[in-house]
């Protein structure tokens, strides 16, 4: 008898997906059913699994569109802002969902979640140090005033002590950078607030002076391009115990952040799907599309089966690049002119198709409906032919 | 052969978002096509410039087996064909 249970399980393992199979085995082991009953359970599980599979010809795309669209109508159009300690906005809700599906090149609010390696993930000071290191800081951010003297050809920079402490910048960091610009001699003229005076090398007119001022302001002190703001967030478990500190940023630069020492490059991610596709590949982009859409829906309290989202992500990444759904993407590239005309910009597509001599072969759903033909969905997929003897 | 603008780094393979990719041999590829009864172009595509493909040194026409971690099935295997763009 035990043998027959084993063989039933092996048969089941070939049919059931690994996750369901593992769960089944686990439940069987902990149950006190006898062998015969267990065997019946295995058989019932397989039967149930097979009967709940999608049937051939099922219009999964339509079901998916309805399943995302219906709760989507209940979504508030208002953009929600991040609650809590973060001072910057993250687009959520319907605008974000549209952004994902449209495969925009840049999200309206790019943001990254930077995880840190085990050793420093729990250390607030070290996390802060990394956060300072990656924040893109220019001289402009740490000064309170810049004065130009067109008579003596000098520029006086007054620094903001508080900002400098906040960003972890000292005068010793700034002076070599200014020297590198080769605009003139530098002298520290005051300590509180720290003030520098630059004596320009040559006599210049006021336009050049302004240009030099801009150059000084935009000089990078440190940081990674694109990361405009950083904040530290404490991730806590349900009981309020600290798990680790993570750095949340405004702006995104995945490729360079992954190279920063102390950053956990296996978990750090961005919400920029195009960037993820470039740095981590199309499969990573697919996973991110699913995750981001699920995130948006979940935050709105909507429950959409993940299979629908997976289908959308599969379709968007089918060609190896992230493609939008809609006129500019998948629908716009349909080979059938009637299907395209039925969607948007009818005349344009018809004229163009006529001018180009396109052929309509009525293989898809939309064009079949336009022409009143049987659609190739469900039972319409099956064609009966008689064998001629 | 593959145009490389940016250097790709091995460490992206260990990223949580990146599933396991394997380059199939010609024999394996033929077996896959037979099993699914498809022509190569009917498989989903993946670009030669995809960072993971570049790390595997894939060329157009190669088939790549991807073992995804799926929240519904636990694990699912899909195939993509390397295309040249």
Domain end position, chosen among A192, A222, A252: A222
Closest partner CB to A281 (pick from B6, B9, B51): B51
Q: Which residue of B has its CA nearest to A15?
A: B73
β-strand partners of A188 = A196
The CATH number given to whatever domain includes residue A159 is 3.30.1360.140
**Stretch B81-85: mean pLDDT, rounded?**
89
Does the distance separating the beta carbons of A266 and B44 come in below 8 Å?
A: no
**CB-CB contact of A173 with A222 (8 Å):** yes
CA gyration radius for chain B?
A: 13
Closest partner CB to A282 (pick from B9, B50, B68): B50
pLDDT value, residue A181: 74
- Which residue bears the tokens 């801009």? A214
Task: Say which residues have a Cβ less than 8 Å from residue A213's Cβ, sequence separation at least 6.
Answer: A146, A148, A155
Positive or negative, the CA dihedral B69, B70, B75, B80 is negative
| Residue B20 phi, psi dihedral angles, 5° rounding | -75, 130
Which pairing describes strands B74-83 and B45-47: parallel, antiparallel, or unpaired? parallel
Q: Which residue of A has its CA nearest to B48?
A: A320
For chain B, domains (ranges, CATH) are 12-83 (3.90.940.20)
Distance CA A368, CA A107 (A): 37
Distance CA A90, CA A293 (A): 14
Q: Which residues of B touch A269 (CB under 8 A)?
A: 16-17
Output the CA–CA distances (angstroms, integers) from residue A25 to A32, A38, A215, B42, B70, in the order listed. 13, 10, 68, 36, 19
Report if residue A144 sits inside a domain.
yes
Distance CA A317, CA A321 (A): 6
Q: Provide the Cα torsion A101, A103, A106, A112; round to 10°.
A: 60
- Which residue bears the tokens 């840190």? A116
Q: Which two tokens stand for residue B83?
A: 């295309």
To the nearest whole Å, the CA of B83 is away from the closest chain A CA by 8
The CATH number given to whatever domain includes residue A357 is 1.10.150.390
Distance CA B49, CA B2 (A): 7
Does the distance separating the beta carbons of B15 and A321 come in below 8 Å?
A: no
To the nearest whole Å, the CA of B72 is away from the closest chain A CA by 7
Report if residue A160 sits inside a domain.
yes
Q: Which two tokens stand for residue A240?
A: 């309020």
Which of B5, B9, B15, B19 should we substitute to test contact with A (largest number of A Cβ atoms within 10 Å)? B15
Q: Which residue of B has its CA nearest to A319?
A: B45
Mean pLDDT by 10 residues, chain A (389 residues): 76 87 89 86 90 90 90 69 57 84 88 87 84 85 80 80 80 78 75 78 74 81 85 83 87 87 89 92 94 88 90 92 83 84 88 91 88 89 85
Half-sphere exposure of B33 (CA within 13 A, CB side): 18
Report if residue A149 sits inside a domain.
yes
Distance CA B9, CA B52 (A): 9
- Which residue bears the tokens 């020492």? A261
Higher pLDDT, A85 or B78: B78
ipTM computed for the complex: 0.92
Closest partner CB to B73 (pick from A19, A255, A282): A19
Does the distance separating the beta carbons of A18 and B73 come in below 8 Å?
A: yes
Q: Which residues of B touch A256 (CB under 8 A)?
A: none
Does the distance separating the beta carbons of B9 and A259 come in below 8 Å?
A: yes
Report if residue A177 sits inside a domain.
yes
Domain end position, chosen among A173, A201, A222: A222
- Give the rounded percent of residues in chain A with a pLDDT score beyond 70: 95
Q: Structural domain of residue A24, as residue ranges?
A: 2-51
Does the distance separating the beta carbons of A258 and B17 come in below 8 Å?
A: no
Report if residue A96 sits inside a domain.
no
Cα–Cα nearest to A372, from A345, A343, A338: A338
To the nearest whole Å, the CA of A194 is away from the closest chain B CA by 41
- The string of DSSP letters for A188-248 reads EEEETTEEEEEEESS---HHHHHHHHHHHHT-EEES-TT--EEEEEEEE-TTS-EEEEEEE
Q: Which residue of A has its CA nearest to B10?
A: A280
A-B C-beta contacts closer than 8 Å: 93
pLDDT value, residue B2: 43
Which pairing describes strands A242-250 and A111-114: parallel, antiparallel, or unpaired? antiparallel
β-strand partners of A185 = A199
pLDDT value, residue A85: 46
β-strand partners of A116 = A263
Report if residue A79 sits inside a domain.
no
To the nearest 10 degrees (0 to 180), the angle between helices A35-51 and A18-30 is 150
Q: Please report, in angstroms and rounded to a whole number, the separation of the first and last CA atoms in chain B.
A: 12
Closest partner CB to A306 (pick from B15, B53, B71): B71
- Which residue bears the tokens 């508080």? A162
Q: Which residue of A has its CA nearest to B47?
A: A320
Output the CA angle B83-B61-A320, nearest 5 degrees: 25
Q: Can you point out the beta strands (E) in B14-53?
A: 20-23, 45-47
Distance CA A271, CA A287 (A): 11
**CB-CB contact of A212 with A200 (8 Å):** yes
- The alpha carbon of A388 is separated from its chain's Cα centroid by a whole number of angstroms, namely 56
CB of B25 within 8 Å of a chain A CB? The answer is no
Does the distance separating the beta carbons of A307 and B44 come in below 8 Å?
A: no
Report if residue A11 sits inside a domain.
yes
pLDDT value, residue B66: 94
Residues written for chain B: 85
Distance CA B1, CA B6 (A): 14
β-strand partners of B77 = B67
* Number of folded domains that form chain A: 3
Distance CA A213, CA A178 (A): 11
Cα–Cα nearest to A369, from A59, A54, A55: A59
Task: Say which residues have a Cβ less than 8 Å from residue A118's Cβ, sequence separation at least 6.
Answer: A264
Residue B28 has pLDDT above 90, yes or no: yes
Domain end position, chosen among A168, A197, A222: A222
Q: Which positions in chain A have a beta carbon within 8 angstroms of at least one beta carbon in chain B? A: 17-22, 255, 258-259, 265-267, 269, 276, 278-284, 287-288, 306-307, 310, 314, 317-321
CB of B42 within 8 Å of a chain A CB? The answer is no
Report if residue A302 sits inside a domain.
no
Q: Which residue of B has its CA nearest to A20?
A: B73
pLDDT value, residue A84: 46
């Amino acid at each position: 008898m035990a043998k027959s249970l084993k063989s039933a399980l092996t048969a089941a393992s070939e049919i059931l997906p690994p996750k369901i199979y593992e769960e089944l085995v686990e439940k069987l082991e902990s149950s006190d059913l006898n062998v015969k009953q267990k065997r019946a359970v295995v058989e019932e599980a397989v039967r149930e699994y097979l009967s709940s599979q999608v049937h051939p010809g099922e219009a999964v795309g339509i079901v998916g569109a309805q399943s995302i669209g219906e709760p989507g109508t209940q979504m508030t159009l208002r953009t929600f802002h991040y609650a809590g300690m973060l001072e910057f906005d993250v687009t959520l809700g319907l605008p974000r969902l549209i952004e994902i599906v449209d495969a925009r090149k840049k999200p309206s609010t790019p943001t990254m979640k930077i995880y840190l390696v085990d050793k420093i993930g729990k250390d607030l000071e070290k996390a802060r140090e990394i956060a300072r290191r990656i924040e893109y800081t220019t001289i402009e951010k740490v000064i309170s005033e810049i004065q130009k003297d067109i008579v003596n050809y000098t520029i006086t920079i007054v620094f903001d002590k508080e900002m400098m402490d906040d960003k972890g910048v000292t005068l010793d960091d700034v002076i070599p950078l200014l020297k590198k610009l080769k605009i003139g001699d530098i002298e520290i003229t005051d300590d509180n607030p720290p003030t520098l005076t630059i004596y320009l090398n040559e006599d210049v007119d006021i336009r050049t002076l302004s240009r030099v001022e801009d150059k000084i302001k935009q000089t990078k002190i440190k940081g990674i391009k694109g990361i405009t703001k950083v904040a530290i967030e404490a991730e806590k478990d349900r009981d309020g115990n600290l798990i680790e500190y993570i750095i949340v940023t405004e702006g995104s630069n995945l490729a360079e952040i992954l190279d920063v020492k102390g950053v956990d490059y296996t978990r750090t991610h961005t919400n920029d799907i195009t960037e993820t596709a470039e740095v981590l590949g199309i499969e990573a982009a697919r996973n991110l599309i699913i995750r981001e859409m699920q995130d948006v829906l979940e935050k709105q309290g909507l429950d959409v089966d993940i299979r629908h989202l997976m289908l959308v992500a599969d379709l968007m990444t089918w060609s190896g690049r992230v493609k939008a759904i809609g006129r500019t993407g998948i629908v716009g590239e349909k080979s059938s002119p009637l299907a395209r005309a039925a969607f948007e910009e009818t005349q344009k597509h018809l004229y163009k198709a006529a001018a180009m001599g396109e052929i309509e072969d009525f293989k898809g759903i939309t064009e079949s409906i336009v022409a009143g033909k049987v659609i190739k969905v469900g039972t319409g997929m099956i064609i009966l032919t008689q064998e001629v003897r | 052969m593959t145009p490389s603008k940016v250097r790709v780094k091995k460490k992206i393979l260990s990223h949580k978002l990146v599933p396991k990719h394997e380059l199939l041999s010609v024999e394996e590829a033929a077996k896959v096509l037979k099993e699914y009864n498809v022509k190569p172009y009917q498989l989903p595509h993946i670009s030669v410039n995809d960072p993971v493909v570049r790390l595997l040194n894939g060329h157009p026409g190669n088939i790549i087996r991807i073992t995804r971690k799926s929240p519904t099935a636990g694990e699912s295997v899909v195939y993509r064909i390397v295309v040249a763009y």
